[in-house]
Structures are given as C-alpha cells and as structure tokens.
Amino acid sequence: MDRQLTKDLKPGHLFVFGLGYSTTRLSKRLMALGWRVSGTNRSEQKVIEARSIGISSMIFDQGTPLKEPEKVFSDVTHIIASIPPSEIGEIALLLHSDELRDAPL
C-alpha cells in the first residue's frame, strides 16, 4: 500500500460478504494496519481458514439472513459485497438492508 495512504488510513472494522481470494488479501493488509475484519464464507472449511488468519467469519447462505445481524454490524465501519448478484440483485445487501441502514457506517 502507498505509504501516505497507510498514514492517513485510520483503522476500522471491515465486513465482507463473500471472503474470496481478493478480499482475503485486502483483509490481511488491513489487519496489518490494525483493522478488524469479519465476513462470510460459503463453507465451514472456508470459515475455519478465515478464522485461522484472524478474520471473524461465518457461513452465509444466500437465502437465509445472518443470525443476530444487529450485533454483527454494530461496529462495522466499512462493507464490501463480493458475492455475485442474483437475478434480483445483491442478495446479501437486500436481506440486510434494514440493519445496514442502522449501522454506524
């Protein structure tokens, strides 16, 4: 990362819907700068892998909202939706629009 950017970037809490290769790489860099990162994966194995590097991960089934979303998003400062959209749009954002609207983003 650019040195000036890292000086100006204050640590926050990133939540990622769809922790894949790119967002995991970004997450590692942000955690090295003091950020907290949490997010979702499709399988229990991926959840275990994410947790092993310090990411608080949980399963997300596109048809089922997260459990306790108010708690999950209570201190999130940034969100990335990295799940391919369905025919009706960004399902993760649609399922959690009320909670995200009330989050301290």
CB–CB of 96/73 below 8 Å?
yes
Which domains, from first to last, does the chain contain? 3-102 (3.40.50.720)
Asked whether the whole model's pTM tops 0.85, one would answer: yes
* Alpha-carbon gap, residue 20 to 7, rounded angstroms: 27
Which has more confidence, 5 or 30? 30
Phi, psi of 63 (to 5 degrees): -95, -5
- Note the Cα 81 to chain centre separation in Å: 7
Q: What is the pLDDT of residues 13-43, one digit of tens each?
A: 999 999 999 999 999 999 999 999 999 999 9
Amino acid at 100: L
Secondary structure element (H or E) that encloses residue 101, with its range = helix 97-102
Q: What is the pLDDT of residues 82-101, one digit of tens each?
A: 998 888 888 899 999 999 88
In sequence order, which residues have a C-beta less than 8 Å from that of residue 10 and are 6 or more positions away?
A: none
